[in-house]
Chain A
């Protein structure tokens, strides 16, 4: 087996992974950094983010305001030390990206323009039209090409963390092109693989978002934190789930029901004056309630509401929302200059993830995580739009430096023990290729999606969540009887899909069990049978550990601070 050696191994080449790699490469030009990704970095799902990245930029804004908006948006489940660090670093990181060439949209005087976003008090979302994730990702990727000490392993799928003597020493990675598993040794490993939206059937997420990094850490005994908090974005295109950015509302778009009524202004959904710019959890719930009240619009893919931009005019739409227009026309059958866009809430983001501290360190020495895969507790129970791109930068950079520092002091691996593990992993992967069995990937994926949508959707209740807990556990069992037909070693995407499905089932179970346990409503976890937040009993983070019989739960204190939990009303 090929054995490759680096100081730092970063798994994932999206916003957080690239930022971590650049931070470490810049800090120590002699450190060798492996960037291992199952796709070419520019295909990473950061590319699909649209609306913007938040950081205080204007005179009428302050770090205090950004911090409070974030903690309130989180329904007070965000850790306040993390939030304070985040808002302070955010302007620096976005400025750095500007220095690297990100084509931020500009004001007439040449300064960087900012726009309004949901749950944010003032305009603090930096944007590059409505292709912000795309531009950020390509800027970071192209910038990374400057560093000869960043060594890329493109289209290499990490299937296992190599753990020996209580610490991580590298990864086993399947070369998708060649079909072989290699051992990539590193003194520290950073997971930056993104979330797992594909666990759900109706999602904005691309095909690659399969919770891989969460599953890798979970299998090694690391906790997944706050997994019950899964974010529904209010505005996805029916059918495909393609995202119509919140920037459409930030620029002044209106949500309307079948009667043409701006229901967020005429009815009490808790968003107050913010109306369409309420936080995502509340706006998504409002849309579901409108549909349930019979004021949805019937379409071929279920009922929806209208996102009306027609009053913004062609100029604003073409300049600031060109991608919204392109997507609406291509996938929604509507030109927003002339017609409303059909939209409905769509699974978008996971607030939960691998439990890490402010340095991105997990409980397993040598293992770090940043970006959506991680739960550093910036977002708590509900993330504010445009905080996550900035999160990738702020915590990508900090985690890159922290992991590098750890790597310098880490003792070397027991190579023989690591090799043995990688060889066992290679045998497991080879055994899966063309394996006989009675279950089919597409069928299990469909059933997984259906049960997650039923039990862990916008609104939840005990009975539905319990059923999803039961069904995900059954799916874990049935996965063992998976049958595959492709025996080829070369670019075997069926094998990759099978491995991804295993990851998704494991993480889905953690989501369902965590959700079924939290007997209150907070942020994105909205229960019909427990409508109120319950700080006395549930102001804590949920930890889910992998167990033989299913996830085992524990709790962790929320770091409070200057902001005292209060009723969340806008």
Chain B
């Protein structure tokens, strides 16, 4: 296969020695079927062993290799180099602190994920002897798409609210909380809706829809956030009516 040279302008930052992020340029012989990640791995193996980036599955499911490519959030193992010109800029994901080079800090997201209680909540735990729940294909369809999130963080890098308000719960965490709310097996909606009514959650979203546009798994977090807003309000109204009318 015929290879082609491309110039990669890669953000470098080593807190041990660099006062601020800098850019480094590499010439890479690129194969026609390569993804952006293939070029980074070539640089790492053949040109510069000091380049740091995260990757593993190289099949768009482990979520490790999110970066900015020519200014846009990209899952680099999925993103074809054929779609780019001769100059490709690779930078760490926006809206996250840089750890080193193309590696960003994810601890904040892990806390946000935990905050939405991403697990089945029950009034009373179901016993093993009761067997599996019945869940119709239609009920599965209610949340299936929202369960596709691979935690790649592209949506946080794209989100204008996260850019201004780093504490914002953010698209992926809200989508995953909403995923459990929509699951017919779950009984934790009130708990999660209360979380969603708090500060820096669903009502902070300005519905820019950027998250859904960059999502490599078509989770559509913007739709999840919109549905979650609606449900959180309905839940609150229902609680209000019950507490007033239930006496």
Contacts and interface: CB of A to CB of B under 8 A. Distances in A.
Contacts of B50: 485-486, 488, 494
B62 A206 contact: yes
Given A330-B78, A333-B33, A242 B59 contact: yes
A242 B135 contact: no
Contacts of A42: 62-63, 150-151
Contacts of A99: 120, 126, 128, 132-133, 185
Nearest to B183: A101
B72 interface: no
Contacts of B150: 42, 47, 134
Q: Interface size class for chain A?
A: 35 or more
Given A135-B147, A206-B57, A489-B16, A112 B132 contact: yes
B140 interface: yes
B100 A485 contact: no
Interface residues of B, number: 60
Nearest to A243: B59
Given A100-B119, A135-B147, A110 B99 contact: no
A490 B58 contact: no
Interface string A472-511: 0000000000001110111111100000000000000000
Nearest to A105: B140
Looking at B16, B61, B134, which has the most chain A CB atoms within 10 Å of its CB?
Answer: B61
B17 interface: yes
B201 interface: no
B228 to A, nearest CB: 17
A103 B54 CA distance: 28
Contacts of A142: 113, 118-119, 176
Interface in B38-69: 44-46, 48-50, 52-64
Contacts of A327: 59-60
A145 B118 contact: yes
A208 interface: yes
B14 A488 contact: yes
A177 B99 contact: yes
Given A39-B64, A99-B126, A333-B33, A442 B46 contact: yes
A495 to B, nearest CB: 10
A96 interface: yes
A492 B119 contact: no
Interface string A152-174: 00100000000000000000000
A103 B143 contact: yes
B135 A490 contact: no
A333 B143 CA distance: 30
Interface in B120-155: 120, 126, 128, 131-137, 139-140, 143-144, 147-151
A107 B140 CA distance: 11
B15 interface: yes
Contact of B57 (A45, A101, A108, A492): A45
- Interface pairs A-B: 8 shortest CB-CB: A110-B134, A442-B45, A206-B56, A491-B100, A142-B118, A206-B57, A486-B50, A98-B132
20 contacts: A40-B110, A42-B63, A43-B54, A43-B64, A48-B62, A95-B131, A101-B120, A106-B137, A110-B134, A110-B136, A131-B61, A131-B148, A145-B113, A154-B110, A177-B99, A331-B59, A333-B33, A442-B46, A490-B14, A494-B44
Given A109-B134, A142-B176, A333-B33, 7 more contacts: A95-B132, A110-B133, A134-B150, A208-B56, A327-B59, A441-B49, A490-B15
Interface of A: 39-40, 42-45, 47-48, 92, 95-96, 98-101, 103-112, 131, 134-135, 138, 142-143, 145-146, 154, 177, 206-208, 239-240, 242-243, 300, 323, 326-327, 330-331, 333, 441-442, 484-486, 488-494
